[in-house]
Structure 1
Amino acid sequence: MHFKREFDFVKLSKSAFIFSIVLTIAGIIALAAFGLNYGVDFQAGSNVDVKLSKNVTKEEIQPLLNEIGIGKDASITPGDKRVNIRFTKVLEGDQDEKLKAAIQQLDKSASFEINTVDPEMAKELGRNAIYAVLISCIGIIIYVSIRFEWRFAVSAIVALLHDAFMVVAIFSIFRLEVSLTFIVAVLTIIGYSINDTIVIFDRIRENLRFGKQKTREDLAKLLNHSVNQMLMRSLYTAFTVFIAAFFLFLFGGESIKMFSLAMVIGLIFGAYSSIFIASPLWLLFKYKQKPNRKAVKPSKA
Structure 2
Amino acid sequence: MTFKRHFDFVKHRNIFFIASSAVTLIGIIMVLAFSMHYGVDFKSGTSLDLALGKSTDKAQVEKVFSDTGFSPVILTIGGANNDRVSARYDDVLTEEQIKKVTTEFTNVFGSQVSPEVNTVSPDMANEMKNKAMIAVGIASIAISLYVTIRFEWRFAVAAIITILYDAFFVIAVFSIFRLEVDLPFVAAVLTTIGYSINDKIVILDRIRENLRFAKLKTDKDLHDLVHDSIWQTMGRSINTVVTVLIAAFCLYLFGSESIKLFALAKMIGLVSGVYSSICLATPLWYLLKRSSLKSVKAGAPAKANP
TM-score, reference length from structure 1 = 0.92
Provide the residue aligned with 2:177 in structure 1: 174
Structure 1 unaligned regions, length at least 5: none
Amino acid at match of 2:236: R
Aligned-partner SS, 2:292? coil
Provide the residue aligned with 1:77 in structure 2: 76
Provide the residue aligned with 1:278 in structure 2: 281
Q: Structure 1 residue 62: deviation in Å? A: 3.5
Indicate if the aligned counterparts of 2:3 and 2:228 stay in contact, CA closer than 8 A: no
Q: Structure 1 residue 222: deviation in Å? A: 0.7
Indicate if the aligned counterparts of 2:27 and 2:172 stay in contact, CA closer than 8 A: yes
**Change in 2 beyond 3 A, CA 1:296/1:242:** farther
Aligned-partner SS, 1:138? helix
**Within-5 A mapping of 1:190-209:** 190-209=193-212
Amino acid at match of 1:77: T
Q: Structure 1 residue 100: deviation in Å? A: 0.5
Aligned-partner SS, 1:113? strand
Matched, 1:150 2:149: no
Q: Structure 1 residue 176: deviation in Å? A: 1.2
Provide the residue aligned with 2:49 in structure 1: 49
Deviations 1:33-91 (A, max 9, x none): 322111111111111001113333443334443444432x5321122211101111111
Provide the residue aligned with 2:130 in structure 1: 127
Matched, 1:254 2:250: no
Provide the residue aligned with 1:99 in structure 2: 101
Q: CA-atom RMSD, angstroms?
A: 2.0
Q: Structure 1 residue 21: deviation in Å? A: 1.1
Provide the residue aligned with 1:88 in structure 2: 90
Q: Structure 1 residue 287: deviation in Å? A: 1.6
Indicate if the aligned counterparts of 1:287 and 1:296 stay in contact, CA closer than 8 A: no
Residues in 1 aligned to 2:205 and 2:213: alpha-carbon distance in whole angstroms: 13
Indicate if the aligned counterparts of 1:52 and 1:81 stay in contact, CA closer than 8 A: yes
Matched, 1:115 2:118: yes
Say how many residue pairs are matched: 295
Aligned-partner SS, 1:105? helix
Identify which range, 5-14 or 140-149, moves more after superposition. Answer: 5-14
Provide the residue aligned with 1:237 in structure 2: 240
Indicate if the aligned counterparts of 1:100 and 1:112 stay in contact, CA closer than 8 A: yes
Q: Structure 1 residue 212: deviation in Å? A: 0.8
Indicate if the aligned counterparts of 2:154 and 2:288 stay in contact, CA closer than 8 A: yes
Identify which range, 176-185 or 12-21, moves more after superposition. Answer: 12-21
Q: Structure 1 residue 154: deviation in Å? A: 1.1
Indicate if the aligned counterparts of 1:214 and 1:296 stay in contact, CA closer than 8 A: no
Amino acid at match of 1:88: D
Q: Structure 1 residue 12: deviation in Å? A: 2.4
Deviations 1:170-206 (A, max 9, x none): 1111111111111001100100000110111111011
Residues in 1 aligned to 2:218 and 2:297: alpha-carbon distance in whole angstroms: 6
Rg larger in structure: 2
Deviations 1:249-272 (A, max 9, x none): 111111211111111111111111
Residues in 2 aligned to 1:28 and 1:119: alpha-carbon distance in whole angstroms: 25
**Within-5 A mapping of 1:27-46:** 27-46=27-46
Aligned-partner SS, 1:289? helix
Residues in 2 aligned to 1:45 and 1:228: alpha-carbon distance in whole angstroms: 50
After TM superposition, what 4+ stretches of structure 1 lie above 6 angstroms from structure 2? none
Amino acid at match of 1:54: K
Matched, 1:136 2:133: no
**Change in 2 beyond 3 A, CA 1:3/1:219:** closer
Q: Structure 1 residue 290: deviation in Å? A: 5.9
Residues in 1 aligned to 2:214 and 2:3: alpha-carbon distance in whole angstroms: 22
Structure 2 unaligned regions, length at least 5: 301-306
Indicate if the aligned counterparts of 1:200 and 1:227 stay in contact, CA closer than 8 A: yes
Amino acid at match of 1:37: H
Residues in 1 aligned to 2:73 and 2:266: alpha-carbon distance in whole angstroms: 29
Aligned-partner SS, 2:133? helix
**Change in 2 beyond 3 A, CA 1:16/1:66:** same
Percent identity (aligned): 50
Residues in 2 aligned to 1:57 and 1:102: alpha-carbon distance in whole angstroms: 16
Indicate if the aligned counterparts of 1:215 and 1:295 stay in contact, CA closer than 8 A: no
Aligned-partner SS, 1:7? coil
Residues in 2 aligned to 1:15 and 1:81: alpha-carbon distance in whole angstroms: 47
